[in-house]
Amino acid sequence: MMDSYKIEYRCSLPHGLHARPATQLEVVCQRFRARIEWCNQRNGRCADAKSVLALLGTDTLYGDLCELRLSGDDAGKAARELLHFLRYELQEAVTEANSFGPVQIPRSLQATQSPLVYGVAVSPGIGRGELVVMSAKEPVLPLAVLAESLTQRQQRLQSALEQLQEQFQEQLQQANAPVSQVLQAHLSLVADREFQQVLHHFLPDVTSAAEAIRQTQSHFQAQFRTSESHYLQERELDLRDVCQQLLTLLYPGQAGEIIPALRAASVVLADDLTPSQFLKLDKTHLQALLLSKGGQTSHTIILARAAGIPVLTGLTDQRLLPMAGQPIIADAELGCCLLQPDAVAERYYALALQVKQQYRQQLQQQNHSAGYSADRQRLEIAANITSVADAVAAFQAGAEGIGLFRTEMLFIGQDTPPNEETQYQIYRAVLQAADGKPVIIRTFDMGGDKPASYLTLPPELNPFLGLRGIRLYPHCESLFRSQLRALLRAACHGPLKVMLPMVSQPEELHWVRQRIDEEIAELRAAQQPYAVFALGMMLEIPAAALQLEAFCPQADFFSIGSNDLTQYLLAVDRNNPRVAHYYHYAHPALWLLLQQIVTQAHQHGRWIGLCGELGGDPRFLPLLLGLGLDEISLSARQISGHKSALLQLHAGRCRQLLRQVCDADSREQVLTLLAAAEVSEPRPMLRPENIILRQDWRNKAEVLKGMADHLWLTGCTTQPLQLEEALWSREEAYSTGLGHGIAIPHAVSDVIEHSALSICRLAQPVDWDALDGRPVDLVIMLTLSNRQGREQHLRIFSRLARRIMYEEFRQQLRQAPDEQALCEVLRQELKI
């Protein structure tokens, strides 16, 4: 039967439909026989969705409305899977374009005599090493190549195409996440129908396969260049990469690619670099990359960011080339390079690298620390996964556990389901990756928007209200039993919890418990090792949520499925773009229900988490904390951001906000409440972590920079460079060296998040241009946020200025044995 469907999709990808998402889309489309066309309504360009290059040609940008037209016998199935894919999987983290704006050289670096060269910082960091220049060489092909017959050309080209695909497949097996994204994109390019068609189209009219490759490259380059998206323009590099690799395979040793062998810490200068060239550079020595061309979003830059290699682009300065072999510092924080660094520059960067190192250590600690709010309310931050690879990536990203393993992803999109053994191996591998951390595996949740062809179920008018989740199990009982057996066996390898989707009645839990008991009996009889797991259920049907108590005798734990709970509570199809504006987490009724659920679960001594998309939406984190949930589960890339945001929140204030939200009448009111809420933990001005004892900074500029950086490390500012400048503008009006060896630098500024009084005792006094001409050994710095006002500033400043007139106070400051004691002296004297 010939079916046809249409899906509307508004592009929510920040950089438009570029090569990576287009590749993912193409992979999904390839699973179906249906013809699938992607039409961009803005410019009228339509394309075969099974070709990445054709998709790129539609120039789909952020916000464009597109229509997917599907026709063919499996078009219905394709439409359902594509809807799910577009809604949940085709998402992308916004990669920051780290162009840091106009270069402002900090005062402590201004005395350097080293020549400075400016560029655009696109991958942050600082690298120091010897300058290595990588020359671009156009391949020169030997004459013999020019005499190939058409058949020879066709055969050689075809085998090179196949070989390259195999090569990518092999590399993919060992690649980490960012590299595999790039490899996948390149694999799709080589395998692309349109790419191969154009190659073969040129072949009869040229004298060599190389020529056909060149012409194909130019053909697509011209297409990319006319795109309005700079993102697509930058895909040209991927095309060049793939073509270069084809040439290298066709003409080994003759296609002219020179990768320098790095022998010591090096900063590599090149015109631009393809992703494969970047991958071939020795990362043990590569400290930074300087490119004369190159945008901000090319795959090379993405790989460099993932590998932590600083990159500057736009470096066309003629002074660079003759510096080959000389030391250079590439500063992709400030956006400049220092050639042949002198002692001032070396000292500045030695200190800067120390700060970076401290920052990295802090991040690492945070990554492996448990989720807590500022006032120590616990909230476990777990990850949603669909595969073993996801689990590994999630734990690397700091997940405290797995809150949802959507196992149906192992079952859909193929002709047969995975057997018990395959499943057992996967669940075991996830538990092993978790290494003792908790793992919640959800039994397969098919039906609704996740169909599986082999289940041969009759079509439903309203699949989301039909046979889905747990309701399906009696209709495919042996399949469900095979999953139960695999789970019971896997439970021997770690703390496993299993949960059931779409439960609406206690009898359903009872039915499953009976099947588990029977499978345990079978395993025991067969003498197969197994372990019993905790059995829980998802709360995603309002009826079950409202009647939670009735499930408690059989459910060991609960997890809220906010996607479905919102859909059923608000009566909005979660995948229907026409009613998407009705689907909103700010609806007060949702929070009323969530509050009731969490309270009830805890009253019955049950653990409760939340694993739908709401868990990853940073706008609602204060409310989730206010609910008192035990856990939230989100995608791996959101974990570190959520952990640090959580650390700033005050749970008490969040609970208060939640109460207001539950009393609100409309979602607009909720959004206004959220925008105005003060939910961060108030910080005292004086904290031991802002006290620095025996620091060996050598001059005033180093002290101001060091103290501004320290405030950055303690989270009081996010912009240390601007803070440093604010401090300097005060110093320029008058010296804050008030005499007696004491300086009181100060600033009131927007770049200060939390007001602070920081103190530094210097190992050696430094010149401060003080009123009495004495060098300074004690610095008391006052940095106030604009919100907290000037009045407080004046009050503290004048009290301080009066108190330092007294010898006894000065002695107390200089002799206090530790940070805590020093804080106490100031607290008492200044009454803060």
- Positions in the binding site for ligand PEP (CB under 6 A): 404, 406, 445, 540, 561-564, 611-612
Catalytic residue among 11, 15, 18, 710: 18
- For the bound state, the minimum distance from the C-beta of residue 92 to Mg ion, rounded and expressed in Å, comes to 23
Interface region with Mg ion, contact rule CB under 5 A, candidates 38-46, 253-261, 556-564, 806-814: 556-564
Q: Which amino acid is at 18?
A: H
Which of 450/485 has CB closer to ligand PEP? Answer: 450
Which of 38/583 has CB closer to ligand PEP? Answer: 583
Find out whether 627 and 608 touch, Cβ atoms under 8 Å: no
Among ligand PEP, Mg ion, none, residue 562 binds (CB under 5-8 Å by kind): ligand PEP
**Residue indicated by tokens 């992979």:** 27
- For the bound state, the minimum distance from the C-beta of residue 382 to ligand PEP, rounded and expressed in Å, comes to 12
For residue 524 the two structure tokens come to 């025991």
Residue 740 appears among annotated catalytic residues: no
Residue 587 appears among annotated catalytic residues: no
- For the bound state, the minimum distance from the C-beta of residue 594 to Mg ion, rounded and expressed in Å, comes to 15
Q: Does 408 bind Mg ion (CB under 5 A)?
A: no
Pairing relationship of beta strands 776-785 and 756-766 according to DSSP bridges:
antiparallel
Using CB atoms, what's the residue nearest to ligand PEP?
612
Looking at the DSSP bridge assignments, the partners of residue 382 are: 633
For residue 272 the two structure tokens come to 């631009």
- For the bound state, the minimum distance from the C-beta of residue 649 to ligand PEP, rounded and expressed in Å, comes to 23
- Helices 639-648, 343-367: inter-axial angle, 10-degree rounding: 90
Q: Which helix (H) or strand (E) holds 646?
A: helix 639-648
Q: Does 64 bind Mg ion (CB under 5 A)?
A: no
Burial level of 677, CB count in 10 A (0-12/13-18/19+)?
middle
- For the bound state, the minimum distance from the C-beta of residue 376 to ligand PEP, rounded and expressed in Å, comes to 28
Interface region with Mg ion, contact rule CB under 5 A, candidates 184-192, 196-204, 428-436, 559-567: 559-567
- For the bound state, the minimum distance from the C-beta of residue 630 to ligand PEP, rounded and expressed in Å, comes to 16
Q: How many helices (H) and strands (E) does the chain have?
A: 30, 26
Q: Does 561 bind Mg ion (CB under 5 A)?
A: yes
Quote the CA–CA distance of 97 and 297 in Å, as a whole number. Answer: 7
Which of 546/832 has CB closer to ligand PEP? Answer: 546
- SS3 (DSSP) at 405: strand
Find out whether 275 and 303 touch, Cβ atoms under 8 Å: yes
Burial level of 647, CB count in 10 A (0-12/13-18/19+)?
middle
Among Mg ion, ligand PEP, none, residue 55 binds (CB under 5-8 Å by kind): none
Catalytic residue among 11, 29, 476, 611: 611
Which of 61/441 has CB closer to Mg ion? Answer: 441
Interface region with Mg ion, contact rule CB under 5 A, candidates 20-28, 90-98, 554-562, 750-758: 554-562
Quote the CA–CA distance of 782 and 786 in Å, as a whole number. Answer: 13
Catalytic residue among 746, 754, 760, 823: 746
Q: Which amino acid is at 527?
A: Q
Which of 272/564 has CB closer to Mg ion? Answer: 564
Q: Does 613 bind Mg ion (CB under 5 A)?
A: no
Quote the CA–CA distance of 634 and 362 in Å, as a whole number. Answer: 23
Catalytic residue among 15, 84, 186, 299: 299
Find out whether 499 and 506 touch, Cβ atoms under 8 Å: no
Which of 562/736 has CB closer to ligand PEP? Answer: 562
- For the bound state, the minimum distance from the C-beta of residue 414 to ligand PEP, rounded and expressed in Å, comes to 18
- For the bound state, the minimum distance from the C-beta of residue 610 to ligand PEP, rounded and expressed in Å, comes to 8
Find out whether 406 and 445 touch, Cβ atoms under 8 Å: yes
Which of 119/561 has CB closer to Mg ion? Answer: 561
Find out whether 612 and 560 touch, Cβ atoms under 8 Å: yes
Of 486-545, binders to Mg ion (CB under 5 A) are: 540
Which of 537/759 has CB closer to ligand PEP? Answer: 537
Find out whether 540 and 566 touch, Cβ atoms under 8 Å: no
Q: Does 564 bind Mg ion (CB under 5 A)?
A: yes
For residue 373 the two structure tokens come to 């709010």
Q: Does 236 bind Mg ion (CB under 5 A)?
A: no
Quote the CA–CA distance of 660 and 668 in Å, as a whole number. Answer: 13
Pairing relationship of beta strands 402-406 and 46-48 according to DSSP bridges:
unpaired
The phi, psi pair for 96, rounded to 5°, reads -70, 135
Among Mg ion, ligand PEP, none, residue 406 binds (CB under 5-8 Å by kind): ligand PEP
For residue 653 the two structure tokens come to 């204030």
Q: How many residues bind Mg ion (CB under 5 A)?
A: 3
Residue 611 appears among annotated catalytic residues: yes
Residues that bind Mg ion (CB under 5 A): 540, 561, 564
Name the residues annotated as catalytic: 18, 299, 611, 746
